[in-house]
Structure 1
Amino acid sequence: MAAQPRFRNDAVVVANTPHEKHAVDEVLPPFRMFTSGLQHVAAMYAGVVAPPMIVGPAVGLSAKETAFLVGASLFTAGLATLLQTLGFWRVGARLPFVNGVSFAGVTPMIAIGKDRGHDGIAVIFGAIIVASVIGFVLAPYFSKLLRFFPPVVTGTVITLIGVSLLPVAFGWSQGTQGAPGYGSMKNIGMAALTLAIVLVLRKLLRGFLQQIAILLGLVIGTIVAIPMGMTDFGAITDADPIGFPTPFHFGAPQFEISAIISMCIVMLVCLTESTADMLALGKVVGRPADERTIEGGLRADTLGSALSPLFNGFMASAFAQNIGLVAMTKVRSRFVVAAGGGILIVLGLCPMAASVIAVVPLPVLGGAGVVLFGSVAASGVQTLAGAAMEKGENALIVATALGIGLIPIAAPDFYHAFPKDVLVVLDSGISTGCVVAIVLNLAFNHLGRKPHPEELEQQALAEVTAVH
């Protein structure tokens, strides 16, 4: 058996014994496990609660019912994360892979359930269940597309993931849209201060404290924001201590063909993004994601999505921002993320505990998010550095895919005249960029071209590396 690679500082080295655990399978001490897992929760919290907070009012739910959706989303995100990190049978990537509510489904879910209240939510849940079951069946076949994701494709997609997430951080930095002070110098200054705190902590601290610099930055930033009147503790006092997400709280799922078709498109988007995220995470942790890993990861995605509506949750997908956290902290243990999944479940069962994290002001989250999401983009650039840009038309592939993938960011209204169902795909720069990169890579590097013996040797070496 070949020796497993392990990490020493930032370099990958080969373990001296074949029995030494890979860093991904390392079990950390309880306190480090908890705090590192909590940092993952802090990084993803806003992304988990944002979709239900948007969809709930849009379909006519009350504030209390929307709060119930938020708790359910936290609970189901925890379940899906445990499926990914711990896994069973051939379900789960068994990587430090975080799952939560997918933003790709927000627009179609609003279109499905608008002004229909509980009936609209029931139709949404029915469509998610059917689309997720179909996705579970397709997962083994979708994973066989791995050979169409060489560095020129994965590097482009990883870069797009990071760049596409940065506007989220910029939005957080401005505060709550529509609220007093939105976009003010005070809010943006708070975000800049948090960013500076994180950078200083990363520079001055060592060891474990350096690894949780993001969490410490969020805590310090929140404390600084208290005397400035930027924190609201009302969420804690108004929350119930216990609140289990009762199965089928909004009634039995309803099944409509048009809604199912719409959510099937969303599922394909999620499968594409999760595949790219697993490839990115595999490179970050030094355990390249092979076909079986991706198959297991996609099965966990789809199984988690199928179970979510039972507990009033939405479609689950990968959270790319947490890949940036893994890259930055160098904590590669999947059990750390599993601990984060456990924390999410507790938060979902205890609305009062969940509201504690909600106290963190959005500008503070935005300042930390710049570092997190920028780290993802930097990982993509690093991947592109090894993509043999000087060979063939690889530079053209990257240029075109990046250009098209950035359209939703650079020109958000570019596709305004297109049908809403098509916008599910086009409004995701990650998905469109990924599709363009794959198609162009096929056209320029596969169709009608025989690889040189040297390229075949490199490909074989890459496959062997992926297996080990």
Structure 2
Amino acid sequence: MTTINTKEISHARERRRGAVAPVDEKLPLKTLLAFGLQHVLVMAASPIASVFLMSRVLGFDADLTASLLSATFLICGLGTLLQSIGYSGFGSRLPFIMLPGGAPIILFIQIAQQYDVATASGAVILTALFYFVVLPVFKRMLKFFPSVVVGTMLILVGINLVKILGFLIVGRNPDAPDFADPTNIFLAFATIGLTVLIARFLRGVFKQLAILGGLLGGTLIAFLAGAVHTDRLSLTPVIGVPEVLPFGMPTFDLIAAIPLMIFCMISMVEATGQTVAIGEVVGKDLKKERDVARTIRGDAIISLLGGFFGTSLIITSGENIGVVQATGIKSRWVTVSAGCMLIIISFLAPLTGAIQSIPDAVIGGTGLVLFAVVGVMGIEMLRRTNLRDSNNMYVVAVALAVGLFPILVPGVYSNFPNGVAAFLGNGVAAGAITAAVLNAIFNHFSKEVRAPADDKAVTAESQC
């Protein structure tokens, strides 16, 4: 009897283990730390660049800059934990990393220049609350975001991010003496080359850590070439503590907050695509209305907290989707470990300096691969759509045209009113909303009876 019971217990445990989805799998600690570090190093450029841009433009001193950098890492870490673990309807329970958005940083700076930094912080807080106001309406619109829309959006995301990383490698000012420096271009492609070699010739966990290996190898080459920023390496101070309300009490001005509120609606569209995309990568059967809402609530509550620490909006990022896809490691506990690392980094000033020392060109080389992977995921989604159907073809073609226009021709809408320019100038959002509207017109409101846009069936003609 004892033997039978032992066998039954053993089989029950095996069934329970087998029932654990890859996204919920708890991996060994050394695996979590290695792959979590990979996520951290890939995303580190974003908070560093955002804080230094804000500090340079607004004239912050070194102490305030250090405090804001510490605060940004802290809020990103807490947001990553919330999105990965989830709690009471907040957080998607998916392997997400949270980052300061590029557009919100620019809008924060513009508000601070037009008013002051206290008003800019107040605008962040008001916008975070605005998320909760518009979310119930937005949830009802999610049916208009099938694969034909999300796939088109991911292609635009990939192209846009590759362009941003291209600027990180070559610089933005053609008149600058170091613009398109061959050394930086060499470092970027050396990083890509090392990543490919590791992915091709190594096996097991080393193959999965190809992104981290390429990043570290590229940094080593940069060090040998004298391109590492050693002036940022310092053992003192040891502890860096982010300051609450670094700009004093926030000033709340609804008019000043309008640009960020407009971006908030754009951000919800992006969060929809990112949630669907990473859900597919990890093989999780999403309930779109529920899970997208959880992602957006996580963005809102973390941005609200960040507003009290002087950051702009902190949002889920498409950047780490490529990492998950490339490595095949789907567990959300990996990003939990990354979130813990970000929190630790926020309090350890020497670690912050060490991450800052990685050359932009090396980070850019790593990002080029990962962000191109996001675009490939969009192509994979579009494969489920019958693009021989002229309606779907027009949806994708026009949406790509609208989205690529401001990406490839920057400043095309610069003479438009600010609110219109902010929307149309965001190629990802403009393209995604165009796709959603056209898909609704062609495939939802048409009197003609049509197959669904996400038709996975293969037509008889394509089978021939």
Superposition deviation, residue 241 in structure 1: 1.5
Which residue in 2 is equivalent to 1:396? Answer: 394
Distance 1:53 1:115, change over 3 A: farther
Superposition deviation, residue 62 in structure 1: 2.2
Cα-to-partner distance string for 1:368-414 (whole Å, 9 max, x where unaligned): 11110110000000111111112241011101101110112211021
Which residue in 1 is equivalent to 2:11? Answer: none
Asked if the contact 2:55–2:65 (Cα under 8 Å) also holds between the matched residues in 1, the reply is yes
Cα-to-partner distance string for 1:338-396 (whole Å, 9 max, x where unaligned): 11111111111122211211121111111111110110000000111111112241011
Which residue in 2 is equivalent to 1:431? Answer: 429
Which residue in 1 is equivalent to 2:28? Answer: 29
* Structure 1 unpaired stretches of 5+: 1-14, 462-468
Asked if the contact 2:384–2:456 (Cα under 8 Å) also holds between the matched residues in 1, the reply is no
Question: Within 5 Å, which residues of 2 pair with 1:29-428?
Answer: 29-114=28-113, 120-174=116-170, 181-237=178-234, 240-290=237-287, 291-428=289-426
**Which deviates more, 40-49 or 169-178?**
169-178
Equivalent-residue separation in structure 2 for 1:95 and 1:395 (angstroms):
32
Distance 1:435 1:246, change over 3 A: same
**Which deviates more, 53-62 or 336-345?**
53-62
Cα-to-partner distance string for 1:415-461 (whole Å, 9 max, x where unaligned): 12112233222221110001100110111111133645xx4798899
Equivalent-residue separation in structure 2 for 1:349 and 1:130 (angstroms):
28
Asked if the contact 1:100–1:319 (Cα under 8 Å) also holds between the matched residues in 2, the reply is yes
Superposition deviation, residue 64 in structure 1: 3.2
Asked if the contact 1:212–1:329 (Cα under 8 Å) also holds between the matched residues in 2, the reply is yes
Indicate the SS of the match to 2:234.
Answer: helix
Asked if the contact 2:187–2:362 (Cα under 8 Å) also holds between the matched residues in 1, the reply is yes
**Which deviates more, 56-65 or 437-446?**
56-65
Cα-to-partner distance string for 1:162-189 (whole Å, 9 max, x where unaligned): 1110012212222686875331111101
**Structure 2 counterpart of 1:31, which letter?**
K
Indicate the SS of the match to 1:222.
Answer: helix
Asked if the contact 1:279–1:288 (Cα under 8 Å) also holds between the matched residues in 2, the reply is no
Equivalent-residue separation in structure 2 for 1:16 and 1:173 (angstroms):
49
Superposition deviation, residue 16 in structure 1: 7.6
Asked if the contact 1:305–1:316 (Cα under 8 Å) also holds between the matched residues in 2, the reply is yes
Distance 1:236 1:437, change over 3 A: same
**Structure 1 counterpart of 2:253, which letter?**
E
**Structure 2 counterpart of 1:149, which letter?**
F
Indicate the SS of the match to 2:224.
Answer: coil
Equivalent-residue separation in structure 2 for 1:251 and 1:239 (angstroms):
27
Superposition deviation, residue 157 in structure 1: 0.5
**Structure 2 counterpart of 1:165, which letter?**
L
Indicate the SS of the match to 2:233.
Answer: helix
Distance 1:217 1:257, change over 3 A: same
Distance 1:138 1:163, change over 3 A: same
> Kindly, what percent of the aligned residue pairs are identical?
33
**Structure 2 counterpart of 1:103, which letter?**
G
Distance 1:129 1:353, change over 3 A: same
Equivalent-residue separation in structure 2 for 1:191 and 1:219 (angstroms):
12
Equivalent-residue separation in structure 2 for 1:71 and 1:421 (angstroms):
32
**Structure 2 counterpart of 1:236, which letter?**
L
Indicate the SS of the match to 1:183.
Answer: coil
**Which deviates more, 120-129 or 193-202?**
120-129
Cα-to-partner distance string for 1:89-116 (whole Å, 9 max, x where unaligned): 1111000111111112123212211176
Equivalent-residue separation in structure 2 for 1:162 and 1:81 (angstroms):
21
Equivalent-residue separation in structure 2 for 1:425 and 1:210 (angstroms):
41
Cα-to-partner distance string for 1:317-352 (whole Å, 9 max, x where unaligned): 121111011111111111101111111111111222
**Structure 1 counterpart of 2:39, which letter?**
H
* Structure 2 unpaired stretches of 5+: 1-13, 458-464
Asked if the contact 2:443–2:452 (Cα under 8 Å) also holds between the matched residues in 1, the reply is no
Equivalent-residue separation in structure 2 for 1:26 and 1:94 (angstroms):
12
Cα-to-partner distance string for 1:293-318 (whole Å, 9 max, x where unaligned): 11111110111111112222221112
Equivalent-residue separation in structure 2 for 1:19 and 1:447 (angstroms):
43
Indicate the SS of the match to 1:28.
Answer: coil
